[in-house]
Chains A and B, each alone.
Chain A
């Protein structure tokens, strides 16, 4: 179960904190993108819509787009307007480029065709970043600095994870130049100042583009879940930046794990299933490698969802790791669901000192898993027994 190209483009563009996204589409696409994004931040509304209606479908949506561009230019005090065209204008053939070029605006405008029928969310994210990259400028390289690529503003735990990842990198003497896409317009424009692009699951096309255009090399790494995953992550970056191992001082401690070590013993070998975007594989690695869980089913969002559900039903899975979409199957199978990947719309994560990534994240994640198991209602378990 995956989102479409429009969603990917929207998530990439809305990650630039002072940009406005103008969706050229009927009301529903605008609404869906807004609802999924804003469960994570209800105070951050920076989007507009051309509200394509039957009249625009019949006579074309170009006038509506022109009108929206002029109004948005006046209403928003922002440096960037990202225009994303959905399915409807693409099918009817609106000439978006011509409209954008026909109006004089006081801000940068980047437009992209993100018709949902053309591709999936991942592709939309990749293409949108490449479109936005034309705003980047040649910069003087800042030594031992990196850009982190692959984030979205509505990823679960994104603020807490980034805080922890930056703490670890800074501790190793590495500066984070820009997080893409969760940065200011200024930071995005100056992204080529980084010595290295670190691609964390997605954003490879942007990294390739920046390598070609600005000579910034890139490194693809897994998401830093767990003690081992985090160590691998830091080591890989340090190695690339020629930072000596002794400088890194990887500072994880085991005190927190000692307090609950008997529970971890008891849960060793627990059969679990994992589904999600690129985070899923790194999560499965942590669960397998560090908690000793047996991975019964591991699926990407792009795989057939019905098959995933059937496979989980046919497995011994006792904990499910995924997004809010897995709530139903978890309820059906009477097993706990640990939410870790987009979209999460039935949990909030506003405390940014409780990450899932990094060394501190390993503790929080373990705590979350144990609480999910230990707090799981006896009612649900009994129901299962009596069935």
Chain B
């Protein structure tokens, strides 16, 4: 008996250590990658990055792959930086096109550089990424790739900087999402063109993957942003463990993989796609590989259960999965009940953004047994990204509908002023915020618990992310800190575009970008 008790105790200690390690992993990434990624995201108020940068990043996610930029020297100079982690400069080759190449064509230069790149880096894959210049001069990149002989794989990825998404894409996408919130059968199954990442995925599926003998009960998992995904390492480990328990094997984690694994991707029975699905559609058509897209309704307790069962059903493992899932779910619910005791008898307000997953994220907080009294949603930033009033109204309307349908029982406040926010804060015991307005609130004496870590735990496959978040929150609400007067709260900000400084040049640059962006490709 004593032995069993000790074993249980050890299990609890191990689970605790695992959670600590998982949380540390996310906080490390939030700190060391976030310091670059956060400001980069803010700069989207004044512009967007080139398609080429997404392609460069995606190619370098594959082990021993080298991007070859087919363009002038300036393109690799700044695309050597990824928008996500600026210091992570990469091995990158370039054809260094000059005026002569623009006049006479750059195909010879490309031939030379393919050979040169191979001889310098000995990669397993060279991905040729055309730029605006080679796109305009009409170099036959595909033709050159076919004729040049180097002992490695060659890939062509359309990456011309002028072929980015148009201004309405995000608006249409969000509108369809808002509709799907109330009717998930209508979940949008297309993607936003032009960030470069999708183009690499599709090119790999079209040009490199080879017919394979299908290995039963095996999956490919798309790793989103791979090494730049916060908590990626832990997330992947947890997924592998979980699938193993259901009896599913991981064939490859796509794009965080080797060149050989890319080729052998069609050996999987199923693709679990995340960000985009064009590549998965192509694999289905070409190799018969089925796919499942992880989307908003696969979150929270019910969503996680649904995801596991949906995956299992693709392998006719419903029976085994039901038993396993039910056990895992009950275990998670017990833990959530335990942590929930810390939250009961308190009132909470949640300050969050309106975006793709919003009502489902809010519902997940309720799964954690956090009694929300108010939810404040900021939709102003959507305006900055050219989201129409019509779409924003639809989003708010459908969130309101779901509050009633799901009997969530909190008051929804859309775009409250700082005074209104302050009043709401006085009416609750704790304020949760996953957005960066914390310094402003704290200056006003509103103590805020930062829940930005939540988004990286909500969408992990399995129930462990939810339990980890509950544990973190339970610890976090017990911690008190002195009133803060953050230095950043002393600065003067624009009333609408927080955290843009109240500076006429910044505002004019923002307005200028917004106007020019909305004029393109109407």
Q: Which A residues contact B (CB, under 8 angstroms)?
A: 1-7, 20, 25-36, 38-39, 42-57, 64, 67-68, 71-72, 75-78, 86-88, 91-92, 115-118, 120-121, 306, 324-325, 327-328, 345-346
Contact = CB atoms under 8 A, between A and B. Distances in A.
A72 B512 contact: yes
B487 interface: no
B161 A26 contact: yes
A327 B132 CA distance: 29
Interface stretch (B39-47, B270-278, B398-406): B39-47
A44 B505 contact: yes
B47 A27 contact: yes
Given A32-B50, A35-B78, A51-B516, A87 B89 contact: no
Pick from B39, B40, B49, B98 the residue with the most CB of A within 10 Å: B49
A223 B51 CA distance: 38
Interface string B164-187: 101000000000000000000000
A34 B46 contact: yes
- Top 5 nearest A-B pairs (CB, nearest first) are A28-B50, A4-B74, A32-B78, A346-B87, A116-B74
Contact of B72 (A31, A34, A116): A116
A7 to B, nearest CB: 6
Contacts of B412: none
6 contacts: A3-B74, A57-B136, A71-B512, A75-B508, A118-B99, A306-B120
A25 B505 CA distance: 21
A2 B94 CA distance: 11
Contacts of A88: 132-133, 136, 161-162
A189 B426 CA distance: 56
Contacts of B71: 87, 116-117
A43 B506 contact: yes
Contacts of B78: 3, 7, 32-33, 35-36
B75 to A, nearest CB: 7
B516 A31 contact: no
A51 to B, nearest CB: 5
B73 A4 contact: yes
Interface of B: 39-40, 42-43, 46-53, 71-81, 83, 86-87, 89-91, 97-99, 101-102, 120, 131-133, 136-137, 161-164, 166, 501, 503-506, 508-513, 515-517, 519-521
Contacts of B91: 328
B80 to A, nearest CB: 7
Contacts of A92: 136
B139 to A, nearest CB: 12
Contacts of B50: 26-29, 31-32
B89 A327 contact: yes
A115 B98 CA distance: 10
A216 B101 CA distance: 39
A87 B132 contact: yes
A121 B53 CA distance: 20
Contacts of B510: 45
B77 A2 contact: yes
A116 B98 CA distance: 8
B300 to A, nearest CB: 36
Contact of A55 (B77, B79, B131, B520): B520
Contacts of B511: 75
B520 A51 contact: yes
Contacts of A7: 74, 77-78
A283 to B, nearest CB: 20
Contacts of A1: 76-77, 80
Contacts of A26: 50, 132, 161-162, 164
Contact of B516 (A2, A35, A71, A115): A71
Given A7-B77, A117-B133, A306-B120, A45 B161 contact: no
Given A53-B164, A88-B132, A117-B101, 20 more contacts: A27-B48, A30-B47, A31-B50, A32-B74, A35-B49, A36-B81, A45-B505, A51-B519, A56-B520, A57-B136, A72-B512, A75-B511, A88-B136, A91-B102, A115-B72, A116-B75, A116-B133, A117-B97, A117-B133, A328-B89
